Amino acid sequence: MLGSDGAMDAYLEETCDAENALLKRIHRETFLRETMPHMLSGHFQGRVLAMLAQLVRPKQVLEIGTFTGYATLCLAEGLASDGTIYTIDVNEELQERVKGYFDASPFAGQIKYHIGDAADVISQIEGEFDLVFIDADKKNNLFYYQTLIDRVPRGGLILIDNVLWKGKVLMDNPDAQTQRVLELNNILASDDRVEKLILPIRDGLFVLRKK
């Protein structure tokens, strides 16, 4: 036993790079103002996303599920100098505040923020995506994956969040929502177009690399 989840989380955060001032502000304001602040990627997962993006140096990134923009800015850290990140969300109420966060960052000119249905917006964006991060409505994760897999080049990454579903994937009698997550995981595990593994951080991050 390595200790409580809280103690381990604190240790992981202490031993990775610190959040910058803007990310700390987004974290603080999200927990003060949002009813479901746990949807935020947070410090440690944010550093994981930033490092993966820095390894790929993507020219185009697609993020499905912006929320308050924390993960967006972490992914933007790895963008090529002329790269662009497209991020999509359905919540119009957060638009003004999130746009303010983006404008306050060094990546303001590289972030294209869309409000609308992801299926519609994706079809309007041209080209391939070197990195895709899917963190939105879980019932559509498989649809997003199947829609985007052919638009990711060899060596590109697809990241899908919440694939351990609070540990419910190990339940003997999973509920309908958990069964949907299990179906996705099983399909991804058998897809020979990608190399894959689940990182057991927070709620589980599926990392898939296009062969």
Tens-digit pLDDT profile for residues 57-86: 999 999 999 999 999 999 999 999 999 999
Decide the pairing of beta strands 194-199 and 205-210.
Answer: antiparallel
Q: How far apart are CA 145 and CA 54, in angstroms?
A: 22
The pLDDT score that the predictor gives to residue 1 is 37
Residue-by-residue DSSP string for 107-171:
TGGGEEEEES-HHHHHHHS-S--SEEEE-S-GGGHHHHHHHHGGGS-TT-EEEEE--SGGGGGG-
Any idea what DSSP says for residue 175? -
Q: Can you list the domains of the chain with their CATH numbers?
A: 49-210 (3.40.50.150)
Q: How far apart are CA 72 and CA 14, in angstroms?
A: 22
The pLDDT score that the predictor gives to residue 194 is 98
Of 6, 186, 25, residue with least CA distance to 100:
25
Tokens representing residue 55 in the block: 């390894």
Distance of CA 201 to the CA centre of its chain: 12
The pLDDT score that the predictor gives to residue 94 is 96
* Residue 54 backbone dihedrals phi, psi, to 5 degrees: -65, -30
Q: Contact 59/82 with Cβ under 8 angstroms?
A: yes
Side-chain half-sphere CA neighbours of 89 within 13 A: 19
Tens-digit pLDDT profile for residues 116-146: 999 999 999 999 999 999 999 888 999 999 9
Tell me: pLDDT of 28 over 70.
yes
* Other C-beta atoms lying within 10 Å of the C-beta of residue 22: 16
